[in-house]
């Protein structure tokens, strides 16, 4: 028996870094939005152990979040058999789109079914805290207000639907590096998440666009000016606004109209400078 799960990507519509905690983690406030772009996770029982396959070269097995998720369930819930995990990557890696976390969440959900563990969503979220802070949202899905270390979630029931154009420059930024280089003089001052929540409540796409904000941009855009160049290009070609997602470096632009999304996509893929400096451009939607 093979079980197939979709592992959806995410963007941060707002991300306020409130303060560094004694644990070394950070207190944040964020509105996180799930997107249609997804990886495919296939799970199959094997005699023993964990076998990981992927269509691209990714990190070593012991660093892979899907592998970690499987290992935790096998060790903690007395699973006697093993599992083969096949990951079909569509979400770019180390991109601020939650790809690794989503693969882990899909693995937790899938193994819960495959091995009849009967764990609740709440129990899975508790397990996910030992894997990575974004995994909780990837289990939760939809739209959420995230607080604490990003793993305390409140569901947002209704948000206007919109198209999202994603553009990832041809370099990676690890979450660890992004947090290590935070500009503490500027972060935690704008606190745009509260305004974003109000804009969503009013179901006003223009206000949502106005209040898009990411505290990581202060340090990362300084080091990588192409991020601001992508944002500017997207807005010039019709995006209501554009922002770097999570710890970057992927930039997203939002629009209500598919034709505008296509225009933004073409402005990036047909421009020689961006064609040379981007390794991923994609149109998707909220879900």
Q: Which residues are catalytic?
A: 10, 134
Ranges of CATH 3.30.70.890 domains, the chain:
163-285
Domain 2-155 has CATH 3.30.230.10: yes
pLDDT digit of tens for each residue in the chain (287 aa)? 899 999 999 999 999 999 988 888 899 999 999 999 999 999 999 999 999 999 988 776 778 999 999 999 999 998 999 999 999 999 999 999 999 999 999 999 999 999 999 999 999 999 999 998 899 999 999 999 999 988 899 999 999 999 999 999 999 998 888 888 888 888 888 889 999 999 999 999 999 999 999 999 999 999 999 999 999 999 999 999 999 999 999 999 999 999 999 999 999 999 999 999 999 999 999 99
Fold of 163-285: Alpha-Beta Plaits (3.30.70)
User: Can you tell me the distance from the alpha carbon of 131 to that of 236, in angstroms, rounded to the nearest whole number?
Assistant: 39
Number of residues that make up the chain: 287
Ranges of CATH 3.30.230.10 domains, the chain:
2-155
| Residue burial 11-42, b: 16+ Cβ < 10 Å; e: rest | bbbbbbbbeeeeeeebbbbbbbbbbebbbbbb
Within 13 Å and on the Cβ side, how many CA atoms surround 51? 12
Residue 22 has which token pair? 């004694």
Partners of 264 in the β-ladder: none
User: Can you tell me the distance from the alpha carbon of 142 to that of 85, in angstroms, rounded to the nearest whole number?
Assistant: 25
The model carries a pTM of: 0.95
């Amino acid at each position: 028996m093979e079980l197939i799960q979709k592992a959806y990507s995410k963007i941060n519509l707002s991300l306020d870094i409130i303060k560094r905690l004694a644990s070394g983690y950070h207190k944040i406030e964020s509105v996180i939005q799930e997107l249609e772009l997804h990886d495919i996770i296939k799970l199959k029982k094997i005699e023993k152990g964990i076998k990981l396959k992927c269509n691209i070269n990714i990190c070593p097995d012991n660093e892979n979040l899907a592998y970690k998720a499987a290992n935790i369930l096998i060790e903690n819930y007395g699973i006697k058999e093993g599992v083969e995990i096949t990951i079909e990557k569509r979400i770019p890696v180390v991109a601020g789109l939650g790809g690794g976390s989503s693969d882990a969440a899909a693995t937790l959900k899938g193994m819960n079914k495959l091995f009849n563990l009967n764990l609740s969503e709440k129990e899975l979220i508790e397990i996910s805290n030992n894997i990575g802070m974004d995994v909780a949202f990837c289990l939760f899905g939809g739209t959420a207000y995230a607080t604490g270390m990003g793993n305390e979630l409140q569901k947002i029931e209704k948000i206007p639907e919109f198209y999202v154009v994603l553009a990832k420059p041809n370099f990676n930024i690890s979450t660890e590096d992004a947090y290590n280089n935070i500009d503490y003089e500027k972060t935690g001052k704008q606190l745009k998440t509260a305004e974003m929540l109000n804009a969503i409540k009013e179901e006003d796409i223009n206000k949502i666009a106005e209040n898009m904000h990411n505290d990581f941009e202060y340090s990362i855009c300084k080091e990588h000016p192409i991020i601001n160049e992508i944002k500017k290009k997207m807005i010039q070609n019709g995006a209501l606004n554009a922002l770097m997602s999570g710890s970057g470096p992927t930039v997203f632009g939002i629009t209500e109209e598919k034709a505008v999304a296509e225009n933004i996509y073409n402005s990036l893929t047909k421009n020689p400078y961006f064609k040379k400096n981007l390794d991923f451009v994609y149109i998707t939607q909220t879900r």
